[in-house]
A and B are shown apart, each in its own frame.
Chain A
């Protein structure tokens, strides 16, 4: 079995499953957030702040941020594998994507934490 050093789990089936599970979480979170914005008639800072202050929303947000880390990693890895053939360029881009996604994940936790 060929194992990839840079794919999320080094196993295609496992990557596939992580991508699907994270997709479902992100799809639900998208409906949740856009639904809240859409269904709130008078959205102001206090309403917005209190929404994200709720512990359930915080946990859902961190879960979604983690899912985004996983989902974007599998997706970007797939695209880079398909379209960037020189190994050194591809590995460099994969590392940059991985570092960026990790930083975004930490940033999301810091934002949720500060509310």
Chain B
């Protein structure tokens, strides 16, 4: 591979196929969830420690910022969940061809948008 071919990797100029978009979002949502672990553990601990710390968490969730943060974390979780199911299906040989892979990636995005709306209705 020593041909003097142009190397052109300007990501802003490359139009990524939908499978690549779903894949990178899977990674990003995974990192978001990793960063959220201490916060989730904090909420979990406070909600179980005493009735008054439970109420503190309950009250904190009434504020717009906290609820928005929890919404983002749950959104990352839902996304990672749905895209992960697609991965497991592909491991079993479902939707791993070019056409079916593209269809699967589109289904992931549609399902997540629907779930994101449902989650918003549930939280507000």
Which A residues are closer than 8 A to B by beta carbons? 20, 23-24, 27, 30, 38, 44-45, 48-49, 52, 68, 72, 75-76, 79, 97, 100-101, 104, 107-108, 111, 114-115
Contact = CB atoms under 8 A, between A and B. Distances in A.
Contact of A111 (B27, B33, B45, B84): B45
A104 B48 contact: no
Given A30-B77, A30-B81, A76-B34, A20 B48 contact: no
30 contacts: A20-B88, A20-B91, A23-B87, A23-B88, A38-B122, A45-B47, A45-B51, A45-B54, A48-B48, A48-B54, A49-B48, A72-B30, A72-B37, A75-B30, A76-B31, A79-B27, A79-B30, A79-B31, A101-B37, A104-B38, A104-B41, A107-B41, A107-B45, A108-B41, A108-B44, A111-B41, A111-B44, A111-B45, A114-B48, A115-B48
B55 interface: yes
Interface of B: 27, 30-31, 33-34, 37-38, 41, 44-45, 47-49, 51, 54-55, 77, 81, 84-85, 87-88, 91, 122
